[in-house]
Chains A and B, each alone.
Chain A
C-alpha cells in the first residue's frame, strides 16, 4: 500500500508544482536556519570532558568579603596566591592543581629565526592525570619535579612540529625566556572547548593553543608573569609580580578531582573549615561563603555559552515554527482542493485510516524534500558561520552525521506534525456531499 500512496503523493505534488515548491522551500529554510544555529549552540554548550566532568570541581573561596560580592552573593571566580597555595599544601583532593595563564617567548635554536610567543599554563604535576591530557610522546612531570622546581616543560604537538619537525623531542631542550627547559612530554592534539580548567582567563573559548605547560613553582620562581586577568579589590601594597603574590588580587584558576559524593562532601567541609580558620585568624572578617561546583555547573555559572548564540537559536526556532504554520496552511489548501477525490475514495470503501496514510505519506515526502534542501542549506550555513560569529566559536561548529540525521528527522517529523490537522480535515470529508455537489 505504501508504494501506492507514494505514487499518489508524487502525482499530487507534481500537479501543483508551485505550491509544492513553496512548501519545500519553507521547510528547507526553516530547518536550515534552526540547524545552523543549533550546530553552533551544540558546539558551545557541549561538555568538554564528558567522561569525567562530574568529578572535576572548581573551588571558590570568599577572600574579599560581603562588600565585593555581586548581587547573588557570589565570591570571586578566581583564586589569590595565598589561598591557592594553602589549598595545594593541604592536598585534600585526589588530584589538584592551581594554575595560571602564561605567555612566554621561545627562542628557536636556529639563530636566523625570530623568537616566538607561545601560550600555555603554569600547572602542578597532578594537572595532567586530572584532566586526562593525552600524550603523543613522554608524559607529564612528577611530584618531585614540582618540589624541586625542575626546569621541565610539556609542549603541544603543534609546537613540537614547529620546533622539532614532529620528532620525539622528549629529553631535548627548549629555550624559554632565555632559560633552558627539558621537554618531558608532547601532548597529542589537545584543545578542549570550552577551556574548562581556566574559564576565567579564556572566556571559555579560545583559538589560542596550549603550547606549553611549565611547573607552577618553577614559573613563580623565575618570575614568569601571568598573562590573564588580574582582579583586585584593593591596590596591592607591594610592587611587582612578588607584590601580586602577596596581595588579595585574584588571578589563578584552581581545579580538584573528587571521585564520589563522600569526597565532595569532605572537601566542602574542608573548605568551610579553612575559611573559618581564616576568620579566627582575623584574615577574613566574615562567615565562610565558599562554592564547589563541578565542571557543567561551573560552565553554567560562568555563562560560557554566549547569549548571542542562545538568542540566535531562539529566533531560528521561531522561524521554523512560522515555516511549519505556513506549511500547515498550504497542506490544508492542497488537501481540501482534492475533496472530491477523497469523496470518491471514501465512497468506494476506503477507510479513514487509509486517507490518513495517504495524506501523511504526502506530508512526509514534502518533509523529506524539505529536509534534503535543508541539509544543503545547513551545509552552506555551517560553512558560513565564520562570517557572522566570532572566530573561536565559529570554528567549533561542525557538520557531522548526527547533525545530518537530526536535520532530516526534524524536517520529516515537523512536516508530518504540520500535516496532521489538514489530514484530519481531509479524512472528515463527507463522501455523499462531495459526490452530490458535482
Chain B
C-alpha cells in the first residue's frame, strides 16, 4: 500500500487529524505518568515490613493520674503498672507472646536518631540515621522478626527507663541494612557503636533480616530499613503492647483485651482506637496510597475510553464523507480488505505521530512532577508500553468504522448521492 495518496488525503482535513493526534499525545502523556504513579504506590504498599503480620495486634493505653516521671521513684511506679499489665496479658489463654514496645512499622509514631562508629559524633552528622524500637526479650518472637546473625535479647539484657530519660543500652540488635551500612564487610556482629552522639558503647549482639521504620512519610526514606532495637521497657504515662495470638484467635483476643486490662486497673483510658490488629494498622497507613492508585486508575480508564470514542466518532465521520470515493475504489477493483487496511493504516499514521508528540509530553510532564512533587524519573519502559497501548487502542477503535467502510458496495460509485 502506498502512503503517498493517504497523506495527500489527510491533508484535506488537517484539523481533524491534528485534533486526534493531539488527543492521543495528551492521553499518552497522562496515562504513562498515571500508570507510573500506580506502579510506585503498589510497590510501596507491597513492601514487606519484616514482621509476620498475621495474628499480630497492638494495644495502646494510658493510665489516669500516672506519675509524671519527674519525681524520684516515679519510673519504678510506672514500671510496676507496666509489669502488671504484661503479666495479665501473658496469662490470657490465646496469647502466644507479648512485648511492651514503643511503636511498630506503619504506625506513624517514630523515635529516630543516629548511630556512629565513634563516640561523641554530632547527632546529625552521625554515620547513619536510624529508627529506634524499645522492647524486652519477647520482641523478636512476638513480631516474628527473622534473626540472621547473633542472638536475641535475654531477660538479663533488659532494663527499664523513663520515657524521657536518656540511657545507653549495653547490647543492641540492628537490622541487616544498618549493620551493612556501618560495616560494609559484613562483620558488624560483636562490634560496638555509639547512639545519638553518646560516649558509651553499645555492642551489636544480633542482626535481623528486615524491620521497617514506623513512619511511611517521605522524610524517613533515607533510613527506612535502618532500625536499632534497644532492650528497654520504656516507662511513661502510656504504654503499647504488641501481642501475638494463637492462629485464628486474633478476634477473640482483641475482644477480650479491654476487660483483662480493666481487670488489672480501672484507672486507665482504653478507647475505640486502643486495640488494633496489624491489618488495620497497615490499612490506615497505606490508605492514601491505595486511594491515589485507584484515582489514577479511574482517570486512565476515562481517558482511554474518551480517546477511543473520539477516534470512533471522527473516523465514522470521515467514512461517511468518503462514501462515494470508497465506492469508486471498490468499483475499480479494491477488495474489502484493502479498504479496511486503508483506514487502519491511516489511523496508524495519525496515532504514530500523536505517540511521538506524546513521548515528549510524557517526559515533560514527568519532569514537571519531579520538580514539584518528589516524583521519580519515569522509566522509558512505561512510555514504550504506553505507546503500544495507545496504538493498539487506536487500531481497536478504528476497526468498527473501518469495517463499515469496507462494506460500502461498489455500486455507490454509480449513484450521485
Contacts and interface: CB of A to CB of B under 8 A. Distances in A.
Interface in A317-359: 318-319, 321-323, 325-326, 328-330, 332-334, 336-337
Interface stretch (B201-209, B301-309, B338-346): B301-309
Interface string B363-376: 00100010011110
Contacts of A178: 64-65
Interface in A357-399: 387-391
B214 interface: no
B373 A310 contact: yes
Given A116-B271, A318-B26, A308 B292 contact: yes
A26 interface: yes
A235 B196 contact: yes
A150 interface: no
Interface string B150-180: 0000000000001011100000000000000
Interface string A166-201: 000000000001110000000000000000000000
A50 interface: no
Nearest to B293: A388
In this complex, the interface size class of chain B, counting residues with CB under 8 Å from chain A, is: 35 or more
Given A307-B374, A322-B303, A322-B306, A337 B320 contact: yes
A114 B294 contact: no
Given A33-B299, A243-B164, A319-B30, A19 B313 contact: yes
B125 A67 contact: yes
A409 interface: no
Given A311-B37, A322-B306, A326-B23, A333 B313 contact: yes
B384 to A, nearest CB: 20
In this complex, the interface size class of chain A, counting residues with CB under 8 Å from chain B, is: 35 or more
B287 A390 contact: yes
B1 interface: no
Interface in A83-126: 103, 105, 107, 114-117
Most buried by A among B37, B198, B236, B237: B237
A315 B31 CA distance: 9
B46 to A, nearest CB: 18
Given A236-B166, A332-B16, A22 B37 contact: no
Interface stretch (B81-89, B226-234, B260-268): B260-268
Nearest to B41: A308
Nearest to B292: A308
Contacts of B140: none
B34 interface: yes
B291 interface: yes
B237 A225 contact: yes
B262 A114 contact: yes
A30 B306 contact: yes
A240 B165 contact: yes
A389 B291 contact: yes
Given A223-B68, A312-B292, A321-B26, A332 B302 contact: no
A25 interface: yes
B164 A241 contact: yes
A364 B215 CA distance: 50
Contacts of A337: 317, 320-321
Contacts of B19: 325-326, 328-329, 332
Contact of A390 (B16, B165, B288, B313): B288
B267 A115 contact: yes
Contacts of B162: 239-240
A25 B312 CA distance: 14
A325 B23 contact: yes
Contacts of B299: 33, 315-316, 319
Contacts of B20: 329
Most buried by A among B34, B303, B316: B303
A287 interface: no
A202 B320 CA distance: 61
Interface of A: 18-19, 22, 25-26, 29-30, 33, 37, 67-68, 103, 105, 107, 114-117, 177-179, 222-225, 232-236, 239-244, 306-308, 310-312, 314-316, 318-319, 321-323, 325-326, 328-330, 332-334, 336-337, 387-391, 421, 425, 438
Enumerate the 8 nearest inter-chain pairs by beta-carbon distance, A residue then B residue, closest first: A388-B291, A178-B65, A223-B68, A333-B317, A239-B165, A329-B19, A326-B310, A240-B70
Given A105-B64, A326-B19, A334-B317, 20 more contacts: A25-B306, A33-B299, A107-B267, A232-B123, A233-B123, A236-B166, A239-B164, A239-B165, A240-B164, A241-B68, A244-B164, A308-B292, A312-B295, A315-B34, A318-B30, A322-B23, A322-B26, A322-B27, A333-B316, A337-B317
21 contacts: A29-B302, A30-B306, A107-B267, A115-B269, A117-B271, A178-B64, A223-B70, A232-B123, A240-B68, A243-B164, A311-B292, A311-B369, A315-B299, A322-B23, A328-B19, A329-B20, A330-B313, A333-B313, A333-B318, A388-B294, A390-B287
